[in-house]
Amino acid sequence: MQAFFFLPQRAVAEAGQEALQMRLSQSQEACEHLREQLEALRRHSLSLQDSCTSLQTLNTQLQVDQASLSSQHATVLARCSESEARRAALEAESKVWAREREESAARMESLRRDHERMTALQQQQEVELEELLEKYSQLRGSYRSLEAQHRELEGRYKELLDSKTQLEERETEIKLERQKMEAEAQKTLERERELERLKDDNER
């Protein structure tokens, strides 16, 4: 009866060990899934950084082009002033001046439209850059959250390993204690048999 007493304890210990092994396997799968997500986020973050760098470079180039257009605009205005002076001084060249004035006006209008388009494009690029920076900030927050979850799962995984080790040690202790008690039961049984034999001898 003492030997049978340890059977439920052993079954409980084995069931506990199987449950811990299942939880350990699930934690390992979750850790692996988080590592894959972290790697995907890292690659996405690098891609966004490259996009931000390209947009910043394009924004700088747009600013340079805008400055160049402003300089050209100032040059055209200067030429218009020169044409007005030449008209006052050289009436004979009035037709040429008128043609040049028209051409200058057309160039000014073209430059003005180009300047407006460049300004609108720059504003659009600035909006897109702000959106990308916002997405990048959100991704960094998600990445940090996943890192925290990963650290938490690693801690739980370590706790499960420690619990498994403790359970195995406890199982070993129970086995040794059971063997000891079985040996003591065997000794007791032998003593009882010896007493029965002595009793039978005395009765004879």
In a domain, 13, yes or no: no
Over the stretch 12-55, which tens digit does the pLDDT of each residue have? Answer: 777 778 887 888 788 788 878 888 888 888 888 788 888 878 88
Q: Is the pTM of this model over 0.95?
A: no
Closest by CA to 165, choosing from 27, 23, 21, is: 21
Residue indicated by tokens 């009765």: 203
Using CA atoms of 138, 145, 46, 50 in order, give the dihedral in degrees to the nearest 10.
20
In a domain, 127, yes or no: yes
Query: What average pLDDT does the segment 161-185 reach?
Result: 89
d(CA 11, CA 73) in angstroms, rounded, equals 91
Over the stretch 45-104, which tens digit does the pLDDT of each residue have? Answer: 788 888 878 888 887 888 888 888 888 878 878 887 787 777 667 777 667 767 878 888
In a domain, 144, yes or no: yes
Given a contact cutoff of 8 angstroms between Cβ atoms, the answer to whether 52 and 129 are in contact is yes
CATH assignment at residue 94: 1.10.287
In a domain, 17, yes or no: no
d(CA 68, CA 111) in angstroms, rounded, equals 11
Structural domains in the chain (count): 1
In a domain, 44, yes or no: yes
In a domain, 150, yes or no: yes
Residues of the domain holding 58? 2-7+22-198
